[in-house]
Structure formats: structure tokens, C-alpha cells
Amino acid sequence: MRAAPLWLLVVLQAVISAASLVVEIVAGRMLAPYVGMSLYTWTAVIAVVLAGFSLGHWWGGVLAERPLRRALSATGWALLGAALTTALAAQALRLAAEPVLGLGGGPVWGITGLTMAAFFLPSFFAGVPAPVLTRVALDSGAPQGRALGAMFASGAVGAIGGTLLAGFVFIAWLGSMITLAVVTAVYIAGAALCLYLARQSRVAGTAAALVCALVAGQSLLSEGPCTVESRYFCIKVSDVSSDPERPARAMVIDHMVHGISARDLPRVMFTDHAAMLDALARLRAPQPEFSSFHIGGGNFALPRAFADRGLERITVAEIDPEVTRIAAREFWFDPATARVLHRDARAALRADPARYDVIIGDAFTDIAVPQHLVTLEFFELVRDRLTPGGSYLMNVIDYADSLQAVGSLVRTLREVFPSVELWTEARRPAPGERIVMVIAAGETPTPANSFAVPSPDQTTFAALGAAFVDEIAARGIVLRDDFAPIDRLLNPRD
């Protein structure tokens, strides 16, 4: 076995640790088109990756008991395993998504199962080298205490570096697939170094590296699920036209349709929530030429419709600039018709004391509104940014058999606004159905209890009865900045 200086082992451990944390961050992004990006997604990713590391460390400890040459050789092959399974992670997701998510059992088990299918093995193989490399470091001739501390520190520093690189550099500038290609190459290089130090057959090492490279190329050059992968979302544009001469497109952010627009029908809303928000904004506005603040842009269907009606005081807080660019390029939105703020909506409202006649909440991560946009403190900020007689309209999703999430929102809004209404399609939902609703909050009730608008077919929407809204509110809790478990409240009851 070739002698390995301590600095080389420290660098190798740091690089492997960094690569493994890059995969962990990429895992959350890659799961989003299948299961969304929620608290459950990140919980599953962290748990599965840590489980893989733990089992890999244990197996690496078993290998470290072997003669060093054999241990290093096995570590090299483990890194080739890490390269192979990392390269195939995207393919594993595609193959596993339908059968795993089709098993039922609720979102927690589906997300965890899908994460296991794609990312457990890369984490397991990446966890193997640490004990072996530490054993080699202890035998390198350096003082054992310093060697041990250096190896532990290098793993931690590598993990920090990998996390920062994944979030701020790789995903933002390269995208998930190319990032996985880089990680695959890093693992192959690490495997080659371990095999070299172990005097492993060059032919075996070279052949294994070539196989991994070929598999990686086949996997990573395949088409991903995103039209554009931004710093925040996987964004896909789908053509839903029935007539090629009259184009219509849908914007899918992560795994959820966030809006549909037709080029020739700017005032027609193609989703129930947009139709309700559009109609309620006009019904409740204190003046015909009303001002509006939009929390979330999506495909900008609503700001586009407002502008087409001649409204000029339109402000949109859309955190992702890429969403705005795609709305302008693919969904016929003219950025000159609105003031677009590329920042978090709560921060934008807090920084600017301007008041609006209508504030519209339509921001989602997965099917839940972000936690900081559903709390008592946020609704108090919204109230302070409304003109006299102004209204807050909020798109929400919940399950017919539960309604704990919407009940909590109603109960929290009632702490701030005198009038809180629930609107939805005027029909009885099926048991367990996921239903779309709009909450209307303000000083006074809406001057109508139902209306019919195209969505795109003519659809009647109605306000739920006051007694039923009271019953729903009784199921909820007041949401505050220090406790707003909106993901748990949305979990459908089996």
C-alpha cells in the first residue's frame, strides 16, 4: 500500500463529505416535481440521508478492521457505488414515483418511500469512506489526536462547504442534473485515488470508472422534469391548447399547476381559485379603479386580467424573478403594466407603508401557504396595509373531511377582521376531496352571497353559511409566528 500523507486524507474526506451534502440538498429539489416542497419533504430527505450515512459509517467501520490495503480497495469500490447510484438517482425517482406514491398511506409515507428509493443508497455508499480514511490517518505517522481531530473537522467543513455550494452555486447556476454529474465525477475521482493507494488493478479501476461514467452520461443527459430550474422552483410550461391557433398554457411550479392562461382570453380565469379571486376583488373593492397587491405571481393571470380591464395600480410580490420572466415570455404578461417586487411578500409589505384597496394572497409551497404568511402577526400587517373598506382575499386548499387548516385560518383572521367569509364552488364536495376555497376578510361582508363566472366554463361560487363557517372555525387554532403548523393541519385524515 502506498503511503498517504495526512493532508491528502483530510482533503479527500472533506471533498467526499461536501459531495454527499450536495446530494442531500439536490434531493429536496428533485423530489419537488413529484411531491412538492414542504416540511414533510425536507424531514424525509434529512432522515433518509442520515440513515444512509449511519449505515455506511457502520459498514465502513467493519471494513476498517481489514488490512489497510483491502480496506482502501473496498472503499474505492464503495465510492464507485456512490457514483453509480448518484448518477441513477433521477432515473430511480422516475421509475419509483408511480408505484410508491400509488400505495397510499398518506403523504408522509409516500414522500419517505420515494426518498428512500432514490437517495438512500447514494448516502450509504458516501458514508463508507470516513471510518476507513480515519483509520489510515491514524496510521500515517502523524500524532493520533491531531489526526483524529483533523479527520472529524474535515468532514464537518466539507459538509458546510457542500451545503453552501449546493444552495448558492450549483443548483442556482447548473441545475440539479448537471450538479449530480459533478458529484458523480467527484466520487469517481475519489474512488480512483483510493484504488491507487491500495495498489488495486488499474484495469479494474479504469473499467469501473468508465462504466460509471457511461451510466452517468446516459442518466444525466436525459431530459429533466423542469422547463426552467430556478433558485427557488422547478418550473414547467405545458401547452394545454385545444386549438393551435389559439394557444393556452399551464405553469407548473414543482408539482402543482399555479395558473393557466389563454393568449386571446386575458380576462377568463381557467382555475377556480383565480376565478373567485378575480370576481371577489371586483365585488369587494371600495372603488372601481382599485389598487391591488398580489402575494405571489404564478403565471400572472390575475394581474394580466386587472391590467386588461384598465386598472393601473397593480403591485406583485413574486419572490422568484424567473417566474416573472417566464410569465412575460410564455403567458403574455406585460411587466410594464405592474410594479413587480422580487422579494418575500411579508418583507415587502413591512418595508413599504403604502395602502391598497385589495390584497390578494396566492402563494404556495406544495399545497400549503408558507407558514409566515398565515399567522396572526402577518394578518395584522395586512390589515395595516389596507385602505378603509379594503379587503384581504386568500386562496386556500384543504380536505373536505378535515378542514382544520382552513378553520385555523378563519379563526386567526377573525382576531383581526370583523368579517371573514369562506367561498367555494356551489356544490357538495365528495368525501375526502381536496377543495379549493377563497377566504374574504375585511370590515364588511361581500354585497352578494353567490356569483357565476367562467372558470373557464360558467361556474357558480357561493359563500358558505355563517353557522357552518363557525363550525369550521371551531376545529382550528389561532396561528402565530411561534406556532403555525399549517403542514400538519393540511394532512388529510384517513
List pLDDT tens digits, range 319-339: 889 999 999 999 999 999 999
pLDDT of residue 105: 62
pLDDT, residue 209, reads 63
Segment 69-83 shows an average pLDDT of 91
Residue 1 falls inside a structural domain: no
Q: What does the pLDDT read at residue 432?
A: 81
Q: Are residues 240 and 385 in the same domain?
A: yes
Of 223, 258, 282, which one is at a domain's C-terminal end? Answer: 223
Q: Are residues 174 and 284 in the same domain?
A: no
Q: Per the structure, how many domains does the chain have?
A: 2
pLDDT at 215: 62
Residue 267 and residue 67 in contact, taking contact as beta carbons nearer than 8 Å: no
Residue 320 domain flag: yes
165 and 90 part of one domain: yes
pLDDT number for residue 109:
82
Read off the CATH number of the domain in which 419 is found. 3.40.50.150
pLDDT, average across residues 191-217: 70
Average pLDDT over residues 393-404: 91
User: Does some domain include residue 229?
Assistant: no
- Are 194 and 276 within one domain? no
The pLDDT value recorded for residue 34 is 81
Q: What is the mean pLDDT of residues 264-292?
A: 95
Q: Are residues 190 and 334 in the same domain?
A: no
Bigger pLDDT: 125 or 188?
A: 125
Residues 258 and 203 in one domain: no
Listed range (104-108, 328-332, 381-385, 457-461) with the worst mean pLDDT: 104-108
pLDDT of residue 159 exceeding 70: yes
Residue 170: pLDDT band (50, 70, 90) is: confident
Q: Give residue 280's domain range.
A: 234-490
Same domain, 211 and 240: no
Q: Which domain-ending residue is among 223, 251, 266?
A: 223
- Tell whether 194 is covered by a domain: yes
C-alpha span between 228 and 33 (Å, rounded): 12
- Mean pLDDT (the chain) is 89
Last residue in a domain, options 223, 243, 268? 223
Q: Provide the pLDDT for residue 471.
A: 94
Mean pLDDT to the nearest integer, 8-21: 94
Q: What pLDDT is stored for residue 224 in this prediction?
A: 63
Q: Is the peptide bond before 456 cis (omega within 30 degrees of 0)?
A: yes
| Span 220-231, average pLDDT | 66
Distance CA 302, CA 361 (A): 12
Task: Return the percentage of the chain with pLDDT > 70, whole number.
Answer: 91
Is residue 219 domain-shared with residue 243, that is, in the same domain?
no
Is the per-residue pLDDT at 54 higher than 80? yes
How far apart CA 261 and CA 240 sit, in angstroms, is 9
The percent of the chain in helix, strand and coil, each rounded to the nearest 5, is: 55, 15, 30
Of the two residues 209 and 285, the one the predictor is more confident about is 285
Residues 218, 267 share a domain: no
User: Is pLDDT above 60 for 494?
Assistant: no
Asked whether residue 385 carries a pLDDT value surpassing 50, the answer given is yes
**Same domain, yes or no: 23 and 164:** yes
For range 60-86, the mean pLDDT: 92
Task: Tell me what the mean pLDDT of segment 280-308 comes to.
Answer: 95
| Beta carbons of 58 and 202 less than 8 angstroms apart | no
More confident residue, 38 or 2: 38
The mean per-residue pLDDT over the stretch 434-451 comes to 95
CB-CB contact of 356 with 386 (8 Å): yes
Rounded Cα gap, residues 63 and 164, in angstroms:
31
CB 303 within 8 A of CB 475: no
* Average pLDDT rounded to a whole number, residues 290-317: 95
Angle of the 107-127 helix axis to the 39-64 helix axis, nearest 10: 30
Q: Which of 5-14, 204-213, 237-246, 449-458 has the weakest average pLDDT?
A: 204-213
> Would residue 178 count as lying in a domain?
yes
Q: What is the pLDDT of residue 131?
A: 95
250 and 104 in a single domain? The answer is: no
Q: Are residues 421 and 463 in the same domain?
A: yes
Q: What is the CATH number of the domain that holds 114?
A: 1.20.1250
The pLDDT, as a whole number, for residue 2 is 60
